[in-house]
Structure 1
Amino acid sequence: MSDAIQIQVADSHLYPGCAVRIAHLPEPAAGPRLADAHVEFADGSGAHATCQRRAHDELELSVDGYATQRRHPVNARHWLLFAVDATQHSWRVKRRLP
């Protein structure tokens, strides 16, 4: 998964308002495109995900189910993120999507 987008989450799970860091997000290609991602949570757990730009400063993130380091199961979820800075390295979870 070396070409997957690396996403770091400031907690052991995602929720509205949660801080997210994406060091390198590829520029949007012509039209929406799904990209593979690996999400690393603050407790050391991780999950596979896919992400897709919705707008210049919005990103849809679909995270597969995973277990936290304390073995708490977290179901697969779909999230909307928004960019907090112009470099688009800092993001926040806006809301959960259906």
Structure 2
Amino acid sequence: MSASIQVQVADSHLYPGCSVRIAHLPEPARAAEAIVEFADGSGAHATCHRRAFDELELSVDGYATQKRHPVDAKHWLLLAVDATHNSWRVKRRLP
């Protein structure tokens, strides 16, 4: 895998419709390690994979929010919101 990608989430957890910012995308067809930073200051390790030009898969390891609420590991589909591919929105949870 390549260098870690910074993923900034606009809330303390991911859910459909949630806003996400990613400064540098992984190369197509390559998985990349990611560090997910949540708005409440919590964080998690993840793997990011670019499925298509405007689609990313994000597999987030389990973590605890700042209020110590446990969040299980989950797999998400993200869609690009703008042409710069810095802003993303969670489309849905993947199996």
Interval containing the TM-score (normalised by the shorter chain): over 0.9
**1:46-93, Cα deviation, whole Å (9 max, x unpaired):** 000001011000000000000000000000000000000000000000
TM-score normalized by the length of structure 1: 0.92
Letter in 2 for 1:8: Q
Are 1:21 and 2:21 an aligned pair? yes
Letter in 1 for 2:58: L
**Aligned match of 1:33:** 30
TM-score normalized by the length of structure 2: 0.95
Determine helix, strand or coil for the equivalent of 2:82: coil
Which structure shows the bigger proportion of residues in strand conformation? 2
Letter in 1 for 2:18: C
**1:14-54, Cα deviation, whole Å (9 max, x unpaired):** 000000000121442xxx21100000000000000001011
Q: Which residue of 39, 43, 62 corresponds with 2:59?
A: 62
**Aligned match of 1:11:** 11
State the aligned residue count: 93
CA distance, structure 2, for counterparts of residue 54 and residue 44 of structure 1: 28
Q: Which residue of 66, 70, 75 corresponds with 1:73?
A: 70
**Aligned match of 1:83:** 80
What runs of 5+ residues in structure 1 fail to find an aligned partner?
A: none
RMSD of aligned Cα (Å)? 0.8
What runs of 5+ residues in structure 2 fail to find an aligned partner?
A: none
